[in-house]
Amino acid sequence: MNAKPSSRNQHETNDPVDLYARDAHTFREPPQGVWMTLRYLGPGLILVGSIVGSGELIMTTKLGAQGGFALLWFVLLSCVIKTVVQAELGRHVISSGETILVMFNKLPGPRGRRPDWLCLEWLLIVVVSTYLGLGLWSWNLAAGVGAGGLAVSVLSIWIAAALFLAMRSRQREMVQTSDAQSRPMLGWFLWLYLACQLVMFINVGAVMGGAGQALALGFGNVLGTTDARLWTAGIAVVCGALLLVGRYKMLERVSLVMVLVFTLITILCTALLYWTDNAITFEQIRHGFQFSFPEFLGMDVTLTMIVLTALGMYAGTGIGTWEMMHYTYWCVEKGYARHTGANHPGDQWTRRARGWIRVMYTDVLLTMAVFTISTVCFYLLGAAILYPERDPAGKETLGVLQNIFTESLGPWAATLFVVGGFVVLFSTTYSGTAGSSRLVADALCVMGVIDARDYGARLRFTRFYIVFGLTMGTVTYCLLQNPPLMLIISGFVAVVLYPVFGLGTVYLRHRGVDKRIRPGPFTTSWLWICGLALAIISPAAGLLVLALSQGWIEF
């Protein structure tokens, strides 16, 4: 049976192509050969742009600056351990055509119908009241109330808004019954996701603020302002405009080229250290694989700070929690699931599914190679040049990080770092915003706030969230102005989500993926190892931070 993709017919109309829909008669044969396969790569490479900025450039270099070479083993572990989980989530997408929120909403556990107060209005009230409280705390305007009292006040606003919206809904008695019956069932994961999404505005603000600091560092004296907050706001405007005009593919390719060029420059800087006073020795590399903590800490650095930075690095390097979720949407929009066609009996579907899984795994492994190399280089530069006296933090984060280029290439490389640093951080902002807008829109579809069959409504909300998300990221940076600290705070999301992703993916491998395309014994064993590791490492790191800060244990 030779069926042409229905997208060709849809392109002939004025209606947008629903990239999230597929049927049994809409498929495309998987590519054969290396060169044809390379033409269909892309979802993982998009993530490179969103990974290098926050995790590699800021947190990995900071970890090297604080602890030296001792944690090189942990940096490599952070890059490698998540890849198979990412790939197996992609396998489930190809098998079912579902995004991560749809598939994880089916995980076993508590569930119930969406409450009548859970709507866009309540979510907006939650965000606005939370950031109002953060602003009062940041500007020291709530000294008499205290942080605890401020948190209680914000929570009271959430509850009051929920009660008001629920009462308003119940006043419409004729609509209430039908509304209650039509509201979808929500599992515990959706509630967990909504809570974590609120924290991730801090992550967006950290990356945007870092890009703003890069521009202020390089062009502040030229244009008359070194206030990174103004540059950050400008970045938000430019990024939003580019996303809204729909030039994603063009900018994706340009950003990808820039990120790869900057990565190659970073590799060059690492190699050139050999001819400087900061040359890396074999003994230092060997020490990095002894699976130990740093024996000597950097200036004014405590072991608690090291663990916090390591946790932030672990959350931000490789495929992080949000990149894992975003990847399922890129797999859908790239066409891996749609080209496979809806699941139906027979060998033809199995053959196509295995073919597109092969393409997806190629995409994942190539991505892992790129970000692992860049991550290790950033860590080595931080350990060799910044350790133990210079710790990137606060408003001077990019100014300190600039030394990893100037001390290996010379003073002229300061401009090169400013341009390259801005490129990777802007690319992270761009790719992350694009992914988050799809993730939040899909959450509203799962919740029944948006009709999942109305692709136009999904696109409209995606555009709205682009503006909203960039605005909140700008506000967050203006309030805190400390990218490393902000990344550490948002890194605690990993403590909650990594165990869910690790164990949830193992569950889906055995219960969710079609038996005909399940992975073999080697991949399954590696998935179990990595899934259990994800379930243990981040909670253990969080407990270690608590124990060290409270003095329960000492090293």
Between 226 and 327, where is the model more confident?
Answer: 327
Could you tell me which residue, 355 or 411, shows the higher pLDDT?
A: 355
pLDDT value of residue 250: 63
- DSSP annotation of 14: S
Looking at residue 441, what is its pLDDT?
94
Prediction pTM value? 0.86
Q: Would the pLDDT of 176 be above 60?
A: no
Quick one: pLDDT at residue 432?
86
pLDDT over 90 at 506, yes or no: yes
Tell me the pLDDT tens digit for each residue of 445-500.
999 899 888 888 999 999 999 999 999 999 999 988 888 888 888 888 878 899 99
**E strand or H helix at 113:** strand 111-113
Average pLDDT, the chain: 84
Helix 413-447 / helix 455-480 crossing angle, nearest 10 deg: 130
Count CB neighbours of 234 within 10 A.
14
- Residue 320 pLDDT greater than 60, yes or no: yes
The Cα 171–Cα 151 span in angstroms is 31
Residue 198 has pLDDT above 70, yes or no: yes
User: Partners of 112 in the beta sheet?
Assistant: 186
- Rounded Cα distance, 134 and 154, in Å: 10
Residue 342 binned pLDDT confidence (cut-offs 50, 70, 90):
confident
Helix H or strand E encompassing 496: helix 493-511
CA distance 504 to 89: 10
What is 324-367 written as a DSSP string? Answer: HHHHHHHHHHHTHHHHH-S--SSHHHHHHHHHHHHHHHHHHHHH
Contact, 286 vs 463, CB < 8 A? no
Q: What confidence tens digit (pLDDT) does each residue in 468-482 have? A: 999 999 999 998 888
Higher-pLDDT residue of 57, 535: 535
Delineate the domains of the chain, giving CATH numbers in brackets: 6-106+184-550 (1.20.1740.10)
CA dihedral 380, 384, 387, 388 (to 10 degrees): 140
DSSP string, 257-289: HHHHHHHHHHHHHHHHGGGSTTPPPHHHHHHTT
Tokens describing residue 370: 């790129």
- List pLDDT tens digits, range 24-79: 777 888 998 888 888 888 777 777 767 766 667 888 888 888 888 999 999 999 98
Q: Do the beta carbons of residue 229 and residue 365 sit within 8 Å?
A: no
CB 68 within 8 A of CB 301: no
Residue 7: band (very low, low, confident or very high) from pLDDT cuts 50, 70, 90: very low
Specify the range with the lowest mean pLDDT, choosing from 1-10, 164-173, 219-228, 533-542: 1-10
pLDDT of residue 188: 95
**485 contact partners, CB below 8 Å, separation of at least 6:** 393, 394
